[in-house]
Amino acid sequence: MIGSEASAPGGREPVGLAERLSAIDLRIADAARSAGRDASEITRIVVTKFHPASLVRELHGLGVREVGENRQQELSAKTADLTDLDDLRWHFIGQAQTNKAAAIRRSADAVHSVDRSRLADALHRAADSDDVLDVLVQVNLTDDPGRGGVAPGEARALAEHVKTLSSLRLRGVMAVAPLDEDPTPAFERLRVIADGIRSVDPAATWISAGMTGDFEIAIAAGATHLRIGSAITGPRPDRG
């Protein structure tokens, strides 16, 4: 189903986009309060993967200003369609190929998924004039090297490399919790890694962690940026 409505349980009226957004914001506020944190310090990024640009426009009308995309093609297409919404901030959160770095850089305000020096270098080479791109070091919290992210023990070295590239601004770390374990210890490991990155740059305070199924746990572990998709956008549209 595309757009602003999704079925509600128990035969109730469909839940609209505004209601889902409000419900998530209430849960974020509750989780922040439980963790002794200020909800205003937490950035909610709405991930609109596979949804049309019209949904992003609808979200903008509801006050959303931080939007995330996983694929370069979608990022480029949506930013081109929505040039009039110049206060939107676009976060690229998917795995990136070096040959698409220039296209990503043209559209993204922040890249959360820098997991190797070659990608950082490609993003730096794609800089236009004096613009500076916010980037995060993506950390692999699993034992599977095929998952995106740098190994925890290599995160600091990658952060130090990013710091040598004048067109990139090191913002912090990003990770996805493992699917086969309680996310709590994984997010705690990420918090320790984030502390190490801040020793490279004290301003690198972002911890991008937490999605629809685990964002409350991420908040308790110190996440500053949440990447929430279907709980707000509703089911992804049929691509067939």
Would you say residue 133 lies in a domain?
A: yes
Q: What's this model's pTM, rounded to 2 decimal places? A: 0.92
- Number of folded domains in the chain? 1
Would you say residue 161 lies in a domain?
A: yes
Contacts of 4 (CB under 8 A, 6+ apart): 16, 17, 18, 55, 58, 234
pLDDT given for residue 146 in this prediction:
79
Low-confidence ranges of the chain (pLDDT < 50): 1-4, 7-13
For the stretch 90-100, pLDDT in tens is 999 999 999 99
Would you say residue 24 lies in a domain?
A: no
pLDDT given for residue 2 in this prediction:
35
Would you say residue 10 lies in a domain?
A: no
Cα 185 from Cα 182, distance rounded (Å): 7
Would you say residue 32 lies in a domain?
A: no
pLDDT given for residue 11 in this prediction:
46
Would you say residue 126 lies in a domain?
A: yes
- Residue 133 belongs to domain spanning: 37-233
Would you say residue 11 lies in a domain?
A: no
Would you say residue 21 lies in a domain?
A: no
CATH of residue 157's domain is: 3.20.20.10
pLDDT given for residue 208 in this prediction:
98
Give me Rg for the CA atoms of the chain: 18
